[in-house]
A = this chain, B = another copy of it.
């Protein structure tokens, strides 16, 4: 049942493992140094490391991935190809394949983690933290919480002193937890209303509707409400406003709606994109409830990790109860991994290898390339973003938003998503964000393949438009 005491020779870089049988430790003369131990017991990490290296060695023509848990074909993990690539090694570019700019899948950051492979890897022993309880209350890792505070201090994007921090399976889970906490905190007889200013991230609406609670309900956008009622009525109603800043989809730094007045109202600030790679950081955010998402920050979307920074202890305690009863906390495997990622980032902050600089340069370049193509015709326009001073970089910075909020300018292009789709570009239409169908969101944070396909299709579309116009 246990490990046998055998000795293996391992070439780490190439994952060659040869078993030379049961032996004593042997002292070797290596590279001019005597008495360096060269062989040893295999140790329990060797198999796992060999497996990880074997997967990592499969490049999939740099148009896909093979992971340790990819489907195995002929003893090797099978390549999972990027959009529009196919074949065993993802080397075949498919014809007439639409560019996919729909999801906010932050794969543009993957090269950073490949470059920082040594610092960011994690070895999970089979017995790592099996217990429900972590070393801090509420299922959270004390070290991770401490590093999140260090991170916000180093980046300067949020105040964490004297605040409570709680983890969730992404900020998505925390969103409902906080709405629930607020709606059972506020004095009210009727359900609390949940609102967001359009264009807004559609999950706010869909999730709130899904839970169909007796305590809160989706009320739509504040400006519509002020049209139908007067401001006195609005201020007397209990409302929770979700403020996304920078905003998804348009990248603008947002404040609470001017249509909402009154002191009883609560706000949830979604700061998923309030990191230097997407936005200037004018000052540390200092709101009652702030949500952060690891997905948009480090790019590890499938790890499902986010955190809330909360001022009020009662609200915090209610979020804790929610986390306890909905999922019994957050995966400790993921907590260990996120700790390692944050440590890697902190080690190189404002130095060579700075994570935010890496991310910013990619996002800025993508925005510039897209802007150049869009501005070459009058058919489309983009949201207006201007350079701002960023306290993290200590200089003025050009825009680098996560999404393009494209507007179809031609009178007949009422449905911008359809216009793009007909040109082989998949986007998210404006109505999803409760905005006009004349808008569509293009994701700029996906793989390089995705972005290049988007540019190419957009260029073709605009070129054909110009040809058409000149007829």
- B333–A1 touching, CB < 8 Å: no
Segment of A104-112, A155-163, A242-250 in the binding face: A104-112
Chain B residues whose C-beta falls within 8 Å of the C-beta of A33 in the assembled complex:
20
Asked if A154 is an interface residue, CB under 8 A from chain B, the answer is: no
Q: Which of B11, B31, B53, B337 sits near A333, CB closer than 8 Å?
A: B337
Q: Is A430 an interface residue (CB 8 A)?
A: no
- Interface pick from A203-211, A401-409, A412-420: A203-211
Closest approach, in angstroms, between the C-beta of A201 and any C-beta of chain B? 12
Q: Which of A46, A80, A121 has the most CB of B within 10 A?
A: A121
The answer to whether A53 and B49 touch across the interface, beta carbons within 8 angstroms, is no
Is residue A395 contacting chain B, with contact meaning CB distance below 8 A?
no
Residues of B within 8 A of A126 (CB): 113-114, 116-117, 119-121, 340-341, 344
A453 at the interface (CB under 8 A from B): no
Asked if residues B301 and A353 are in contact (CB atoms below 8 Å), the reply is: no
- Report the stretch among A37-45, A228-236, A459-467 that lies at the interface: A37-45
Q: List residues of chain B with CB within 8 A of the CB of A170.
A: 327-328
Closest Cβ of chain B: how far from A137's Cβ, in Å? Answer: 13
What 1/0 flags go to A127-158 for Cβ under 8 Å of B? 11111111100010111100000000000000
The reply on A368 being an interface residue by CB < 8 A is: no
| Distance (whole angstroms) from the CB of A465 to the closest CB of chain B | 32
Residues in chain B near residue A328, CB distance under 8 A: 169-170, 172, 301, 304
The complex places the Cα of A365 from the Cα of B47 at a distance, in Å, of: 33
Residues in B with CB closer than 8 Å to A135 are: 70-71, 80
Chain B residues with CB under 8 A of A470: none
Decide if A223 is an interface residue (CB 8 Å cutoff).
no
Contact A302 B30 (CB under 8 A): no
- Closest chain B CB from A36 CB (angstroms): 5
Q: In the complex this chain forms, how many copies of it are found?
A: 2
Whether B327 contacts A304 by the Cβ 8 Å rule is: yes
The size of the chain A interface, using a CB distance under 8 A, is 127
The residue from B105, B121, B122, B213 contacting A213, defined by CB atoms under 8 A apart: B213
Known A12-B40, A130-B302, A333-B337; contact A48-B169, beta-carbon cutoff 8 A: no
Docked-complex contact B124 and A67, CB < 8 angstroms: no
Question: Which B residues are CB-close (under 8 A) to A115?
Answer: 1-2
The answer to whether the Cβ of A187 comes within 8 Å of any Cβ in the partner chain is no
In this assembly, does A13 line the interface, its C-beta being within 8 Å of a C-beta of chain B? yes
**Judging by beta carbons under 8 Å apart, are A302 and B124 in contact?**
no
Partner-binding segment picked from A88-96, A283-291, A318-326: A318-326
Knowing A40-B11, A213-B214 are in contact, say whether A1-B353 is a contact too (CB < 8 A). Answer: yes
Q: Does B334 contact A331, Cβ atoms closer than 8 Å?
A: yes
A318 CB, nearest partner CB in chain B, Å: 10
In whole angstroms, how far apart are the Cα atoms of A353 and B1 in the complex? 5
A276 within 8 A of B: no
Contact of A121 among B41, B45, B300 (CB under 8 A): B45
> Taking CB as reference atom, which chain B residue is nearest A108?
B130
Q: How far is the CB of A319 from chain B (nearest CB, A)?
A: 12
The CA of A348 and the CA of B1, in the complex, are separated in Å by 9
Give the residue name and chain of the B residue nearest to A344 (CB). B126
Give the contacting residue for A128; candidates B9, B21, B68; CB below 8 A. Answer: B68
A26 located at the interface, meaning its Cβ lies under 8 Å from any Cβ of chain B in the complex: yes
Q: List the B side residues contacting A352 at CB < 8 Å.
A: 1
- Rounded to whole Å, the gap between the CB of A190 and the closest CB of chain B is 13
Instruction: From known contacts A295-B132, A304-B330, infer whether A210 and B26 are also in contact, taking CB-CB under 8 Å.
Output: no
Q: How far is the CB of A451 from chain B (nearest CB, A)?
A: 15
Judge whether A427 is part of the interface by a CB distance below 8 angstroms: no
- Name the residue of chain B whose CB is nearest to the CB of A214: B212
What is the distance, in angstroms, from A346's C-beta to the closest C-beta of chain B? 14
Interchain residue pairs with CB less than 8 A apart (22): A1-B116, A1-B353, A20-B36, A21-B31, A55-B125, A65-B129, A67-B336, A69-B335, A71-B135, A71-B142, A71-B143, A105-B131, A110-B130, A113-B130, A121-B126, A130-B299, A131-B301, A170-B327, A172-B326, A172-B328, A210-B322, A303-B333
Can you name 4 extra interface pairs (CB under 8 A) apart from A20-B36, A169-B327?
A43-B53, A51-B123, A109-B130, A207-B325
